[in-house]
């Protein structure tokens, strides 16, 4: 430190001070404004980037909410379509069951009427056969019994008495 004080020269100090002031003046005059403008540009660029990032974030959030809304709508539409499909399936099944029931009832009714008509035909055949057999039996009995005239007259009188005229 002593050596600094011994080497100190006031003329050199003044020249260095003047040179320093000139350098500061030149820096202020020529370099300060470009440096400040570069800093301001950088600051505005950073601010613009932050604003753009905020806008992008808002757009992403809006897209996410739109996607969620669309997803909910798609799910609701899918559920509605499934509900409609189930209703159509149930209706088709009910209609098919109803048609099958009607068809089976029709078949049963047709079978009953066929059985009834065949029963009537069989009864008519049986009546015809019984009548033929009865006539044949009666004919044979009458031939044997009515071989004599008295028996024939008595038998005819008994039949006439048994038949009442209306």
Task: Using the structure block, give the residue that is written with the tokens 């905020």.
Answer: 54
Whether the per-residue pLDDT at 165 is higher than 60: the answer is no
Report the alpha-carbon distance of residue 38 to residue 18 in Å, rounded. Answer: 28
Whether the per-residue pLDDT at 5 is higher than 80: the answer is no
Q: What is the pLDDT of residues 10-50, one digit of tens each?
A: 888 899 999 999 998 888 888 888 888 889 999 999 999 99
Report which listed range, 80-84, 121-125, 141-145, is most confident. 80-84
What mean pLDDT do residues 74-96 have?
A: 94
Specify the pLDDT at position 130: 82
Are 118 and 112 within 8 A, CB to CB?
no
pTM listed for this prediction:
0.40
Report the alpha-carbon distance of residue 13 to residue 7 in Å, rounded. Answer: 11
Two structure tokens written together for 129: 């056969």
Whether the per-residue pLDDT at 142 is higher than 70: the answer is no
pLDDT category, 131, cuts 50, 70, 90?
confident
Whether the per-residue pLDDT at 166 is higher than 50: the answer is no
Specify the pLDDT at position 148: 66
């Amino acid at each position: 430190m002593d050596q600094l004080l011994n080497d100190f020269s006031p003329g050199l100090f003044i020249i260095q001070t003047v040179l320093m002031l000139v350098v500061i003046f030149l820096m202020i005059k020529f370099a300060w404004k470009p440096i400040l403008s570069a800093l301001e540009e950088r600051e505005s660029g950073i601010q613009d980037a932050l604003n753009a990032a905020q806008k992008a974030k808002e757009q992403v959030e809006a897209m996410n909410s739109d996607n969620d809304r669309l997803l909910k709508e798609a799910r609701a539409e899918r559920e509605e379509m499934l509900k409609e499909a189930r209703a159509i399936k149930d209706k088709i099944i009910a209609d098919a069951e109803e048609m099958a029931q009607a068809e089976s009832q029709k078949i049963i009714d047709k079978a009953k009427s066929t059985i009834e008509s065949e029963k009537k035909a069989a009864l008519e055949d049986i009546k015809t056969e019984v009548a033929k057999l009865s006539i044949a039996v009666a004919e044979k009995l009458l031939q044997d019994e009515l071989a004599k005239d008295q028996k024939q007259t008595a038998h005819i009188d008994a039949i006439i008495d048994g038949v009442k005229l209306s």
